[in-house]
A = this chain, B = another copy of it.
Amino acid sequence: MAENIADKKAAIMKAALVLFTQRGFQGTPTSMISESAGVSTGTLFRCFATKKDLINSVYFSAKESMSRATSEGIEKESSIRGKIKCTWGNSIRWGVDHPFELMFIEQFSSSPFITDVTQEEAQKNFGFLFELLDEGIRAKALKNQDRDLAIYMMYSANVAVVKKILNYGAVKDINDIIDRSFDIVWNGIAR
């Protein structure tokens, strides 16, 4: 199935994502990952020099997927509120569609296995969010507040909403939840 190297790397990372999330980093033998991915241990170590390299790759990839999804379609919105709400909804939908990625990020974002370099590289992809907030503050659509703090709080609120949805199973109207939760955060940051 996985013929070329790129396919194998992808299969390994996918298997690792699920297994690390379910069993923890040290709780998952590399042999289990390679077996689950349908490749040999030797191949795993050809694709990723060490187990730590693997988890860092998975982490970066998950964060990249998240940031890419979050920014999608902002440019179509004209107002600051529209743009921020767009990211809010994108992010919730991505979380609901990618539960393993989300839980993986939550579990390993402050773990000792992810290097500072990986963290920084992954964070760069969220630059557009910081710029968006800055723009809102300059345009006086948002309060003159601590931009980093506001993003921190929005991010965690966002995760909280997704976790709530995931825990309570099937969602009838996700747009309703998005609307209502966005009202809460918008009230908090808007002028």
Contacts and interface: CB of A to CB of B under 8 A. Distances in A.
Interface in A158-186: 159-161, 163-164, 177, 180-181, 183-185
A80 interface: no
Contacts of A153: 156-157, 160-161, 181, 184-185
A110 interface: yes
Interface of A: 22-27, 103, 106-107, 110-113, 145-146, 148-150, 152-153, 155-157, 159-161, 163-164, 177, 180-181, 183-185, 187-189
Nearest to A150: B184
Nearest to A159: B156
The copy count of this chain in the complex is 4
Nearest to A23: B112
Contacts of A24: 24-26, 111-113
A26 B27 CA distance: 7
The A interface is mostly helix, strand or loop, or mixed, namely helix
Contact of A107 (B111, B152, B183, B185): B111
A19 to B, nearest CB: 11
A18 to B, nearest CB: 12
A161 B149 contact: yes
A176 B123 CA distance: 27
A161 B152 contact: yes
Contacts of A156: 153, 156-157, 159-160
A160 B155 contact: yes
A149 B188 contact: no
A184 B180 contact: no
A159 B153 CA distance: 8
